[in-house]
Amino acid sequence: MARNTTFDGYIKSFLAYLSVEKNFSGHTVKAYKSDIQSFFIWCNYTSPDKITFQKLREYIHFIQQFDYKKTTVARKIAALRTFFKYLHKTQYLSSNPAENLISPKKPKALPKFLTDYEMTSLLDSINTDTPARLRNKAILELLWATGMRISELSGLNFDDLNLEENEITVFGKGAKERIVLVSERAKKYLKQYIDIARPLITKEFPTSQIDDRAVFINKTGKRLQNKSVRDAINSAVDAIQLPKHVTPHVFRHSFATRMIENGADLRVVQELLGHASISNTQIYTHISSQHLKQEYLKAHPHATVSEEN
């Protein structure tokens, strides 16, 4: 069928549903939109109420002929399942043809993390001789101390801070609220940033232009964006020539791994990370176990030596 305004309207309302009700990131919403449009281009804009399970299976077979990663194929299937589930939920469709679609199993890769030495070297390399650098120092110390997601950190407001109790309220996925704990070291740099650096970062701009709610701001007084946090991490990594790709999520993985290695209860780590399911947290027990084995093999004199009887 020809593309029509009714169909475009459903696409638009679906994307709004993902953003508002499901709280998907802008990146995911954009990817889902592209995935759904690709499917309907493939089937020549067949009306959604004419789409069958068999037609969806044919499309999946079609895309599997290309050199997509399994994670990409899984996302495309997830986009279709979510879209048709939405159409059924809103009674546009009487049944959901995508209900029984099965995604390919994703390859299990353990999250990357930094060792204590690497993390210490990284944090200690950050110069604090300018307001912006002191801000970046506070950011990286806070990521390491709390395990926060980058979006949670950049979204922090002053009302979320309770530094007297070493607590910060963060709003994670699905706008779920939780409390994270702050170390004395991270709190020290955060207070230095707030008291000393933050006023200097925006000294050339009128007070009326400065975001009074946001904890972390840029030189124009606006809330600091995720890219600036990544740039700060990259700068620190380059300074010590660390041969690893370090992202904000690597700080989160490092925090969780170290908590598990040092004997923290799995449920406590789950709460601090804001994981909806304990299974998401359990992966760090595998990382910890693997790390311990590596250290054993390096340190024990008989670990790699075959003993003769």
* 249 within 8 A of 256, measured Cβ to Cβ: no
Given 81, 252, 253, 258, the catalytic residue: 252
* 166 within 8 A of 187, measured Cβ to Cβ: yes
Q: Is 249 a catalytic residue?
A: yes
Given 133, 173, 222, 223, the catalytic residue: 173
* 183 within 8 A of 190, measured Cβ to Cβ: no
Containing H/E element for 30?
helix 26-42
Q: Is 284 a catalytic residue?
A: yes
Given 85, 222, 249, 286, the catalytic residue: 249
The phi, psi pair for 170, rounded to 5°, reads: -125, 155
Q: Is 275 a catalytic residue?
A: yes
Given 76, 81, 149, 258, the catalytic residue: 149
Q: Is 10 a catalytic residue?
A: no
Nearest Cα residue to 149 out of 123, 129, 110, 178:
178
Containing H/E element for 161?
strand 161-162
Q: Is 173 a catalytic residue?
A: yes
Q: Which residues are catalytic?
A: 149, 173, 249, 252, 275, 284
